[in-house]
Amino acid sequence: MESLSYSEKALSALPLFHRKKYVIYVEGPDDILFWDNVLQQLGLTNYIIKPAGGVEEIKKYSFSIIEASANIVVARDRDYEDFDGTIHNHPRIIYTYGHSIENSLQCSRIISKLIANYLRSTSSFEQEVANWHRDFEGLAQDLLLLEIANTINSKKYEITGKSCVKFLPTNKAYLLCSKKTKKHYENLILNFSDIHLETAASLLSQVKKNIIWLVRGHFLTAASLNFIKHIVKRERGSDFSMDHDSFYTMLISILNISLLDDEDRNYLNAQITTLLAA
């Protein structure tokens, strides 16, 4: 893992050193394959991708672009920067459309394609996935509101964490348990003022994205896996196993820009177009 040990002058010399037009920093090794796949398919060439070493490091690289015009590119998760006012509008800082790359990878078309591939089928399960996403959103909405309130209140509490497992009614469920989410919400809401909650609700309404794009991508993963297992068992009548690493590998293996949701693909394409014109 690299850390930001270069001076801004040295950063700007990296493209020449690597003999590439673009040196692109991503958060970590798990992000490289996603961004390489997407950038190639959107027409970007002559680049090298390097891991920054974590979220705090990728923020430092972003600041080096904004504050010192470092001649590098950053491709990064959006996280909750729409809500805390830290998002950067710069042609060499590329963001995911949703919270993270995992939100893109778990869109309805890609999950549908993964299910069909596993079943060796040409059937589409896209509408079923979209229906499941809608139901998941209804159960996750209150938790997301607290995530946003927490973001604008110095991130003092863990709201959802990196997995939804603790909010599932069983280890095979693919929807959150309303009783568990309500209890968690009621325990945490006392820590936030009415102003924080009202501001969070206002910010959420302004973003105009479905909740499935705004929940943490890793939070969604366990439910996605359980949903896939549910459909596969229904279709072929037997269980199958898949761990998180295998799930990520399969998602990356079928990732195609045409399978991304339209708004996601259009947003990424617009950013690459801006980068190429800069």
- What are the tokens at 275? 């980068």
pLDDT of residue 2: 45
> Could you give the CA distance from residue 100 to residue 229 in angstroms, rounded to a whole number?
23
Low-confidence spans in the chain with pLDDT less than 70: 1-9
Residues 30/54, Cβ–Cβ less than 8 Å: no
27: buried, middle or exposed (CB in 10 Å: 19+, 13-18, 0-12)?
buried
First-to-last alpha carbon distance for the chain, in angstroms, is: 29
pLDDT of residue 6: 59
pLDDT of residue 118: 92
Q: E strands of the chain, at which residues?
A: 22-26, 47-51, 73-76, 93-95
pLDDT of residue 213: 98
pLDDT of residue 7: 66
Burial 69-95 (b: 16+ CB within 10 A, else e): ebbbbbbbbbbbbbbeeeeeebebbbb
Residues in the chain: 278
176: buried, middle or exposed (CB in 10 Å: 19+, 13-18, 0-12)?
buried
pTM attached to this predicted model: 0.93
